[in-house]
Structures are given as structure tokens and as C-alpha cells.
Structure 1
Amino acid sequence: MSEDLATIDVPDAVRRYLRAHTAGDLPGAAATFTPDATVTDDGGTHQGISAITDWLGRTSTEYTYTTTLVGAEREDADRCTVTQHLEGDFPGGTVDLHYRFTLDQGLISRLDIAP
């Protein structure tokens, strides 16, 4: 079942990150992170706004893909998981990814992305 981003129960920073990332707004996506945030994705760890901005730039141009929001679950006020289905020209062609967000004072302090 696909859900609409406007209707899922996630913190505002997560919603802003997902919207900006989908729109290709890299500065907007980066602005949702704390200065010392950490992102773990595809075996790599990226810490700090500069490294996260570089990661965002690479992930937006490395492959062509579409995303479909599958669902979201809020564990508590500062933690949630968003699941998205990706289809594209990356190895394997399709994958369901779980984006596990941790927030600190309203901004994303940690994002772990894994199948």
C-alpha cells in the first residue's frame, strides 16, 4: 500500500528532508540535518553537513530511479522509520529501503538507510 507524504506521521524535519530530496533540492535536504549529523548508506558513513551534502549530490546523480513511499512508523517523538520502494538503473533494479531517522532538537542527527 502506497502512502502520501502529507498523511504520514513523521517529524517535520523528516517530511522536509523527503520533499527536498525528491525535488532534487540538495541545500534544502542538507538543511534538515544537525551540524554534526551522521548518515550511513550503502556501506559508507558520512558525518557533518559538508560530507552529507557531498553524499546527497552523489546519490542524486549516480543512478536514475523513482521512489514510492510504502509507509512510515514513528517509534517516539525523535525516532521514525520511512520505507520507500525504489526502481531504477542501479544493480538489482528494485529495492525496498528503510530510512531510520533520529532527531535532536527538531533536526535529523542520524539517518541509517538499509534494505
Structure 2
Amino acid sequence: MIPDLPKPIADYIDANARLDIEGMLKPFAPYAVVRDDGGRHQGQAAIRTWIEQATIASRAIFTPDTLCHADGQVIVEGPTHGDFPGSPLRFTLRFTLEGDTIRALEISL
């Protein structure tokens, strides 16, 4: 794990390593938005479904290896291993935080 990750991001990544859906969902604000693979998922129910389909179903575990801050976002990069074609793939996760919650997450290759 990268030291000094903001707590909501560290909590999300730690829960992802355990494939813990409740732990992954907990850091998100109730109105948070996730953009991934051309989709937009807003609110806890939609984000839960996205986690189930995009992460749990393919056992996708993200391992961050770089961290930077730009344009008000926390940008974390690293490989994701799982049961999906091309594994591992390198992803960039752009987090927008609001207090101790994740307000937005954008995922790209």
C-alpha cells in the first residue's frame, strides 16, 4: 500500500484487497458518482451494483503503486489482477474527496 493515502481511499483499496463489498461501499458519499468503462453509477445502490458486477464477479483487485494530486483530485495508478481477459491491466483511479468521503471516482486504462 502507498503510504499517506487519504483515509477514504485507503479504506476502499483495503476492502478491495479483501473483495469486501460493504467495506468498498462505505467510503462513498450517499450521492457519489463512479464513472467506469463508459458507465455512470450514482448513489449507493448503483455503486453497489457496479462493485458487484465490475469487481466481485471478476475478483478484480487493484494494487496501487503511484499517487499524485492534480486539479483537486487524488490520482492513484497501478495494476489490477483478476479473472478477466488481459489480466493484469493497469488502471488510473481519479478520486474526488469531500471531507472523509469519496464524492467521485473515475476509472480509466
TM-score by length of 1: 0.82
Cα drift, residue 66 of structure 1: 4.8
- Runs (4+) of structure 1 exceeding 6 A deviation are none
- Residue 14 in 1 paired to residue 14 in 2? no
Q: Percent identity?
A: 32
Measured in 2, the distance between the counterparts of 1:25 and 1:87 equals 16
> Could you tell me whether the CA contact under 8 Å between 2:75 and 2:95 is conserved in 1?
yes
Q: CA RMSD in A?
A: 1.9
Show structure 1 runs of 5+ residues with no match.
none
Q: Say yes or no: does 1:56 pair with 2:38.
A: no
The alignment status of 1:96 with 2:95, answered yes or no, reads no
Structure exhibiting the larger radius of gyration computed from Cα positions = 1
Q: Are the equivalent residues in 2 in contact too, given 1:39–1:52 (CA < 8 A)? A: yes
Supply the distance in 1 between the matched residues of 2:87 and 2:13 (Cα, whole angstroms). 21
Q: Given that residues 94 and 106 in structure 2 are in contact (C-alpha distance below 8 angstroms), is that contact kept between their aligned partners in structure 1?
A: yes
Q: Who is 1:27 aligned against?
A: 22
Q: Which residue of 1 aligns with 2:35?
A: 40
Does 2:106 match 1:106? no
TM-score, structure 2 as length reference: 0.86
TM-aligned CA distance change 1:37 to 1:66, over 3 Å: closer
Judging changes above 3 Å, is the alpha-carbon distance between structure 1 residues 93 and 73 closer, same or farther for their aligned structure 2 residues?
same
The AA in structure 1 aligned to 2:99 is Q
Provide the aligned length of Structure 1 versus Structure 2: 109
